[in-house]
Structure 1
Amino acid sequence: MTTLALVGHGSHLNANSSAPVHAHAAALRRSGRFEDVLTGFWKEEPSLSRMLDGCTSADVVVVPVFISNGYFTKTVIPREMRLDGALTQRDGQQIRYTGPIGADASLAGVIIERALEAGARPEDAIAVLGHGTRRESESEKNVCAMAERVRASGRFAEAGAVFLDQEPGMLDMLEIFRAGTVVVVPLFVADGWHAGQTIPADLSLEGAETRKGGRIVRYTRAVGTHPSLTAVIEQLAGSAAE
């Protein structure tokens, strides 16, 4: 059987950062599909560099629980885990490295589920909120691609991407969308520092629903915390192991 290794960022500042990784790992252990399910982090223990210590499985699949390809998935994880790319052969062990969970096309379905749980209706707008960065274009492209998949589903009147750290900015979303209700779905792994604290504060949100100038803004939990993301991880791991 295959050992599954889930890799997260983690945080010294917010315990919620690693909570979804642990939750998905626990669910995958219960499934019984894998020989073992390990977790490792950049900013928490167990560290990336040591997470495979003691692992004797002949076949290992490493899945990055990150929203997009970028510095961490391209540089940090391979460096710390001594990976040679998509396939590493080392000491009789085969280690496969998948793309990040956030770049999997099926994640658009999880975004839609989050919006519907928040009461989104066909006449509403869905704002897919990403972090964004001026240093890595793939982050922006991934968020925009997910927003386009939500729009193409035809489930809502409008759907588009807004960002914390680049344009179009989240503070302008009531000008970007015309619908009376805008449902904001944070495309983040966890309800951590940004999704759980800074974004609600910057948007002056009063909870799950806020009224602004006769319009309604609804704010969901982070996409990465949704239980159905476990199936996305399992599918990624299964495809890599085939």
Structure 2
Amino acid sequence: MTSHKHAALIIVGHGSTTNPDSSAPTHLHAESIRRRGIFREVVCCFWKEEPNMREVYEMVDSEVVYIVPNFISEGYFCQQVLPRELRLDGPTTQRDGKTIRYCDPVGVHPNMTRLLIQRASEVAPDVPREQTSLVIVGHGTSLNENSTKAIQDQVALIRSGNYGFAEVLDAYMEEAPFVKDWATLTTAPNVVVVPFFIADGLHSFQDIPVLLGMREEVGEALSESGVFHQNPHHLQGRSIYYSGAIGTEPLMAEVILDQVHDFDARHSVNDKHSMPNDEVKSSLAYWLNSGLDELGEIAITTNADASYSLCHRADRGTEGLEIFRAATDALLIARNDASGAFRPLHTAPTLKRGWRLDLPSLEELRLALDFFYPAAIGMARALEQEKLSAVPLRDLLGRQTGMYRFVNTITDDQAHALIGRTCANTKCLRRILWPLNDTQPMTGPAASKTQPNHAPNAMPLLCIEACTHVVSAARKVARENHEAKEKAQTEVG
């Protein structure tokens, strides 16, 4: 892989507000690439988690940015949602002094074949391939014809590659050929099933096992019950070997790099860019030297040897804390609250206590803070330099599509009320910077969230665009409006 030490890599995942496993593979692949030092900066962003696709640019200083979608197919998300949210106008976008290069999603790369073969070998070691059917399972949908193309392409590549399987076929949850018909679709005594998904979740842990007959009904996730790794499963006179989602394979990091390499080759890229300054890191150092030693619920101690120690601000000075020593440990610490519940909103005041994170350098500190509070340092710096652009709520709602396309029909009063209600429910620590529209600020219950709310010794947590919680609340109100209108029309009729 050619060095890209002048450039940043942004890996885009779907994420989830309910499933902590959704973003985990994306973070793992990012860390794998980060350790290799190929890129100057490596960060992640998500559709349903933090940081979102508008915030992530504040996390990188580099003038050249590569974006790789950690998605399976070239469907709705990669062709419509991601370009819209990332403000892209083609394979290469020039904006704000940056060159942004949009690569193909990982799932369509030909090298996914070796991952599938390796996963099949891992899940069914020493099982003769000539006595094995390989089934690659996807979701399937009639909404986008590209949703199945990536799987069909892989099936064709494996069939033509003479890898020795008795048969290779594709199957789907919601369209033919259906995975529930695996017994009639296959003929070999051994069947290896690989879910063609980026992350393990309800589909791979619950839905597909039910469709295969490995369990009778959806219940406790197989990953939690221990059945998931108990291969083989003996069903209908066959031995089924069931794999985790292909996106959890560590070699997916190589496919991400493959997509960057292929972009450069396809577009004849030959960069000669100078190394930019570490401006975000420099701002962080300046603030720490100025006495700003808190961010959200985090207290930051600068040690005599120029290392740093982080803890929950309520634990400052407390002995006997559990010690962590890597920036990536921040992901683990911030993932769940004290009760073990998933924390999709990092700026909710639910960070658990009882830990201390010791870090050797300013670079590790910046990385850890971005894991705790994504993009917070970069946004604070941009605000200080008057370069931070907030997105009016009407602009955000107006660009929604699919099941959210009607959200902008809510009234202004409803918008102000639901923002105040949603922010109060989440207790989010961010300060809202966005107005209702270009000429109208937030009023009513939402107005208080627009005022500075951090302590004098704290760096601010800023909100430049309404989060998924607000958009979901707007959809609920818009749907209620529609139902009320229909009811009134029925009564009049």
Q: TM-score interval w.r.t. the shorter chain?
A: over 0.9
Partner of 2:197: 188
CA contact (8 A) 1:61 1:240 kept: no
CA contact (8 A) 2:64 2:100 kept: yes
Q: Does 1:100 align with 2:105?
A: yes
Q: For residues 162-208 of structure 1, what are the alpha-carbon distances to aligned partners after superposition, in whole Å with 9 as ceiling and x for unaligned?
A: 01111000001110111111100111001112112221233232543
Q: Does 1:67 align with 2:72?
A: yes
Q: Which amino acid aligns with 2:20?
A: A
Q: Which amino acid aligns with 1:235?
A: D
- Aligned mate of 1:197, from 206, 209, 222: 206
Partner of 2:149: 141
For 2:48 and 2:55, locate their aligned partners in 1 and report how far apart those are by CA, in whole Å.
13
Q: Does 1:224 align with 2:232?
A: no
Task: Decide which structure has the larger Cα Rg and report it.
Answer: 2
For 1:53 and 1:188, locate their aligned partners in 2 and report how far apart those are by CA, in whole Å.
29
CA contact (8 A) 2:43 2:59 kept: no
Q: For residues 84-103 of structure 1, what are the alpha-carbon distances to aligned partners after superposition, in whole Å with 9 as ceiling and x for unaligned?
A: 11110012100000110000
Structure-to-structure mapping, 1:38-187, within 5 angstroms = 38-119=43-124, 120-123=127-130, 124-155=132-163, 156-187=165-196
For 2:183 and 2:54, locate their aligned partners in 1 and report how far apart those are by CA, in whole Å.
44
TM-fit CA distance, 1:54: 4.2
Q: Once superposed, what is the RMSD of the aligned Cα atoms?
A: 1.2
SS of the aligned residue for 1:49 comes to coil
For 1:165 and 1:61, locate their aligned partners in 2 and report how far apart those are by CA, in whole Å.
34
TM-fit CA distance, 1:118: 1.2
Q: For residues 128-155 of structure 1, what are the alpha-carbon distances to aligned partners after superposition, in whole Å with 9 as ceiling and x for unaligned?
A: 1111111111111211111111222222
Gaps of 5+ in 2: 1-5, 215-226, 270-493
For 2:45 and 2:201, locate their aligned partners in 1 and report how far apart those are by CA, in whole Å.
17
TM-score normalized with structure 1 length: 0.96
Greater alpha carbon shift after TM alignment, 83-92 vs 113-122: 113-122
SS of the aligned residue for 1:45 comes to coil
TM-score normalized with structure 2 length: 0.48
For 2:170 and 2:40, locate their aligned partners in 1 and report how far apart those are by CA, in whole Å.
39
Q: Does 1:213 align with 2:236?
A: yes
Q: For residues 198-226 of structure 1, what are the alpha-carbon distances to aligned partners after superposition, in whole Å with 9 as ceiling and x for unaligned?
A: 21233232543211121111111111010
Larger strand percent: 1
For 1:10 and 1:209, locate their aligned partners in 2 and report how far apart those are by CA, in whole Å.
30
- Aligned mate of 1:17, from 22, 27, 35: 22
Partner of 1:27: 32
